[in-house]
Amino acid sequence: MTTGSTDKVSGAKALIKCLEKEGVDTLFGYPGGQIIPFYNELYDSDLRHILVRHEQAAAHAADGYARATGKTGVCVSTSGPGATNLVTGIATAYMDSVPIVALTGQVPRSLIGNDAFQEADITGITMPITKHNYLVQDPQEIPRIVKEAFHIASTGRPGPVLIDLPKDVQNIEIDLHYPERVELRGYKPTYKGNTQQIKRAAEEIANSCRPIIYAGGGVISSNASAELIEFAETIRAPVTTTLMGISSIPTEHPLYVGMLGMHGCKYANYAIQESDLIIAVGARFDDRVTGKLESFAPNARVIHIDVDPAEISKNVKVHIPIVGDAKQVLKSLIRYVQCCRSAEWIEKVNLWKKEYPLNYRECRDTIMPQFVIEQISEVCRDAIIVTEVGQHQMWAAQFFKYSKPRTFLTSGGLGTMGYGFPAAMGAKVGRPDKTVINIAGDGSFQMNSQELATVVQNDIPVVSVILNNGYLGMVRQWQELFYDRRYSYTFIKGSVDFVKLAEAYGALGLRAERPSEVRPAIEEAVNSGRPAVVEVIVECEANVYPMVPAGAAINEIIDLEEHR
């Protein structure tokens, strides 16, 4: 079924009108030869366009916008190298189930397959890292394709969709009929969980003595944080989260036991290993969580709630599968469950929390990176925290106190260095009311530091706090612990003066070299209302603890005390 209005417009203008119908307000992109017709029509549009300085940043910015707002992010590029520069950002969104729509220019239809100038088979290239993609062959199909693309990206398990638009298709005039509904045979996500399975799960919970709730990013993407908290409080069970699940429950909630896995809290790992029932919600039993699979939670039965049936029993055997949306399933489950026999269990978990707290070695004159995170947490309690990838990412997960969902954005599945800064830019555009802090390493920040030009030109006051330890820190840590301190090509100290770099782009640049300088620098940056970079010179060989070595069980933990 279509809307009644009919207009004769070019394919490019039709695309813009379709984006407006979908409620898009912002695009992140970079023009080029094969997408010029679209940009020509964009000139007269009310859509906001943020001109990035590299297409990878456009994809990450759309991703950050989507995670922070819950809406679908949109990025644009031209053909060939422009389109392939989006690939890392698309793969990042795919691995973390983030809804984005990527629009790419393509050579005219008559040249496709002829190795034309700036031609790349972007639909073939991105097929493994998109939920779906389209090569538009008929300009009259643009409205239907756009409607489908946004539906697919944002429903079921969210993810990226790509639309490839040949240049001639953008120029041909069509009659614009925008569909009111989407009908896709074979794509019918299940949202309501099976009632009998939910009742079985409730019985299993009632009979459990040591249950634990294991929450992942699906809780956040389905806006199920309130239901997760109510469910945990109803059955009185501890809650642990994946990296992607952080902020789904307040850090200081009495039932929260922190992140689990390779760099998770010791007490979270102990709790899941000794549990007799795991209630997994919107999580996929990733290898960084399970460690050695044969040793993972050996005495636990598993209830798995997930909107994607492909994830159930993929890595860990599931005893009671419930396919459905986390929010809807938890609402239903709450009606059937009651407090289980877990008082002694909660006491034991709380004892572990007291016995094995997260800590770090304090120094009087040297800035410890964990201290910086604590200072950011105190100064900017309700901020959206975005991270690059590396040691700083884990410290941000461990030491910042999160109170609301969609306030921790990070590349979990792909582990993309260079994600944080452009994602923070997108988050700030989507949530201008929030303070947005990008926590970075000196290695990761340089991956997309050119976006300082973008935030300055567009007056996007993102604050980047760079923990400068002079190394590619996480790789160096592995080299220290497992490769006899053979620091092969991980030393990057002195490679750039980040204060001067910020100032060269017109941003505020600050530096902290002593512990007493950290908080004032963060406060000045946040209160300036400008794009800002705070370079903090931290202890160069600080490590992330706890740590589970690769291939070990998650209760075989290296901690700080063993490596003082």
Annotated catalytic sites, by residue?
55, 117-118, 167, 474
Give the span between the Cα atoms of 265 and 530, in whole angstroms. Answer: 36
Q: How many helices and strands (H and E) does the chain possess?
A: 23, 20
CB–CB of 306/323 below 8 Å?
yes
DSSP 3-state of 444:
helix
CB–CB of 406/67 below 8 Å?
yes
Contacts 24+ apart (CB under 8 A), 316-324: 316/285, 316/290, 318/280, 319/204, 320/197, 320/200, 320/201, 320/204, 321/197, 322/193, 322/194, 322/197, 322/198, 322/201, 323/190, 323/193, 323/194, 324/190, 324/191, 324/192, 324/193, 324/194
What is the CA 299 to chain-centroid distance, rounded?
A: 31
Alpha-helical runs (H) found in 483-563: 498-505, 515-528
What are the E-state strand segments in 44-159?
Answer: 48-51, 73-77, 100-106, 132-135
CB–CB of 101/153 below 8 Å?
yes
Alpha-helical runs (H) found in 283-368: 287-290, 326-336, 343-355
Give the span between the Cα atoms of 374 and 154, in whole angstroms. Answer: 35
Angle in degrees, 0-180, between the axes of helices 87-95 and 55-69, rounded to the nearest 10: 30
CB–CB of 279/305 below 8 Å?
yes
- Phi, psi at residue 258, to the nearest 5°? 85, -175
Give the span between the Cα atoms of 241 and 252, in whole angstroms. Answer: 13
Which amino acid type is present at position 103? L
CB–CB of 407/382 below 8 Å?
yes
Tokens of 377: 């947490």
What is the enclosing helix (H) or strand (E) of 392? helix 391-399
Q: In 222-248, which positions are buried (b, 16+ CB within 10 angstroms) versus exposed (e)?
A: bebbebbbebbebbbbbbbbbbbbbbb
What are the E-state strand segments in 168-286?
Answer: 173-176, 211-215, 239-241, 256-259, 277-281
Give the span between the Cα atoms of 423 and 311, in whole angstroms. Answer: 27
What is the enclosing helix (H) or strand (E) of 17? helix 11-21
